[in-house]
Amino acid sequence: MNVLLIGSGGREHALALALSKSPQLTTLFAAPGNPGIAKLAECVTLDVTDHQAVLDFCRVMKIQFVVVGPEAPLVAGLVDDLDKAGIPAFGPSKAAAQLEGSKGFTKDLARDFHIPTAAYGRFKDKASALAYLDAHPAPIVVKADGLAAGKGVIVAMSDKEARDAVEMIFGGAFGQAGAELVIEEFMEGEEASFFALCDGEHALAFASAQDHKRVGEGDTGPNTGGMGAYSPAPIMTEAMSARVMAEIIAPTLIGMKARSAPYKGVLFAGLMLTKDGPKLIEYNARFGDPETQVMLPRLQEDLLPLLMQCATGQLRSEPVKLSHRTAMTVVFAATGYPENPQKGSIISHVEKAEAMSDVIVFHAGTKREGNHLIANGGRVLNMTGLGSSVREARDRAYAGLDVIDWPEGFCRRDIGWRAL
Ligand code: AMP
Ligand code: GLY
């Protein structure tokens, strides 16, 4: 089977590595891919915002399955257009991707289908939002409704911070994404990420992970896409996973069907494990980055048929085969990330890390120029280590990082501290 993978990050490198092992695969294409993916797939330049161009490519190259990595093409309806053309694709339709695209949509779904989540209000104007804050003192959480690159959430510890957040969002800080906002109750507990494969009707638990969102050690500084992650999340016991499947994932699939937007693809649930049980913080409509770089190395079966079954509505019920080992990934980022990452510096000795056992180097923001590997983004490399414990996985990930020569890069040295 010829497969087209869309995306260029560390998540897509991890997907490419897993897909490339499939006995069912003939040729893997990636658009646009990256230098790490280029060792596993044929990288092609294709404007994925031009859906007709993607369809034409699929026809010419006899693509039988498309795997969409990032959220933007999902929200733009790429899967809908592939579907109409009879090309199966992994990922939700535009309507179903609203679970990530609109926080208000997800909150209303949770209310209507009794999915445990924080109490909330939705607002389109400043006066009513501020009136709600008068009645609900801090701590409280203010969120832009739409996609705001992870920056649209303000956890306000004081009333002033909450009011400032409302002013900022309605003042246009996030453009259209802030035309509406959600204000919700502050939840206390430990956070975990949970992933379930879905075929519109059925869901299958995939794996759990925990990540570090803040750029600085001790979980300080601005939010990022994630500076590191590990899988499994020790707090996500089998009993807790079963609860999340029954109380959160299952009613979500029922609700999405009732909204005429059956959910296919992977549901990435951000959870708060509170004293009253697991509660939904938010959904993403895709695999996590860097969570995928720790989940897929634990997969002990062929990924391709599992993703295909999501697309064709024939997801099996037999549990996913995952190694009991721990995987940890540490993000190697360019100086200045997240505000202003410096591009263009040379990275050396990646092959030394690649030669280490139980170490996998995933490329995220790199490019090749002649014989040089060049930093070309904020999050540049992800170093995954595998081990029989969190400590062993961590030691391997950092051992891998330490052989790389890249003075312009930095990483957090405390990934996994909560689990250790
Ligand atoms: P989100 O983008 O919705 O995942 O929010 C980003 C982060 O804000 C989450 O990972 C949590 O740490 C925090 N957060 C969001 N909503 C809440 C809430 N209702 N209570 C406490 N923390 C929250
Ligand atoms: N690491 C969080 C995300 O992929 O959204």
Map out the domains of the chain with their CATH numbers: 2-91 (3.40.50.20), 125-179 (3.30.1490.20), 190-312 (3.30.470.20), 326-410 (3.90.600.10)
- The reply to whether ligand 1 has any atom less than 6 angstroms from the CB of 184 is yes
* 8 A C-beta contact, residue 193 and residue 208: yes
231 pairs with which residues across the strands?
Answer: 327
Mean pLDDT of 186-195: 97
Distances (CA, A) of 73 to 16, 95, 139, 232, 319: 18, 12, 35, 28, 29
pLDDT for residue 419: 85
- The reply to whether ligand 1 has any atom less than 6 angstroms from the CB of 191 is yes
- The reply to whether ligand 2 has any atom less than 6 angstroms from the CB of 70 is no
3-state SS assignment for residue 63: coil
pLDDT for residue 307: 98
Determine the distance separating the centroid of ligand 1 and the alpha carbon of 357, expressed in angstroms.
36
pLDDT digit string (tens) for 311-327? 999 999 999 999 999 99
Q: Which of 99, 213, 291, 295 to mutate to test the pocket of ligand 2 (most atoms within 8 A of CB)?
A: 291
pLDDT for residue 126: 96
Whole-prediction pTM value? 0.97
- C-alpha 282/C-alpha 269 separation (Å) is 6
- Give helix then strand counts, H and E, for the chain: 14, 21
Q: How far is CA 416 from the centre of its chain?
A: 18
Mean pLDDT of 121-148: 96
pLDDT digit string (tens) for 207-227? 999 999 999 999 999 889 999
3-state SS assignment for residue 53: helix
- The reply to whether ligand 2 has any atom less than 6 angstroms from the CB of 12 is no
Q: Which of 75, 210, 289 to mutate to test the pocket of ligand 2 (most atoms within 8 A of CB)?
A: 289
pLDDT for residue 223: 87
Cis, peptide link before residue 338, omega less than 30° from 0 = yes
pLDDT digit string (tens) for 259-300? 999 999 999 999 999 999 999 999 999 999 999 999 999 999
Question: Between vectors from CA 213 to CA 211 and to CA 218, what angle results, nearest 5°?
Answer: 95
pLDDT higher than 80, residue 80: yes
pLDDT higher than 90, residue 150: no
- C-alpha 141/C-alpha 222 separation (Å) is 16
3-state SS assignment for residue 319: coil
* 8 A C-beta contact, residue 194 and residue 208: yes
Phi/psi of residue 188, each to 5°? -110, 140
Percent of the chain with pLDDT over 70: 100
pLDDT for residue 148: 86
- C-alpha 68/C-alpha 286 separation (Å) is 8
pLDDT for residue 378: 96
- The reply to whether ligand 2 has any atom less than 6 angstroms from the CB of 200 is no
Confidence of residue 174 (pLDDT cuts 50, 70, 90): very high
Percent of the chain with pLDDT over 90: 97
Closest ligand 1 atom, residue 186 Cα: 20
> Which residue matches tokens 């498309």?
66
Which H helix or E strand runs over 31? strand 28-32
Q: How far is CA 331 from the centre of its chain?
A: 14
Average pLDDT, the chain: 97
Strands of the sheet containing 346-347, edge to edge, are 346-347, 372-375, 366-369
Mean pLDDT of 7-29: 98
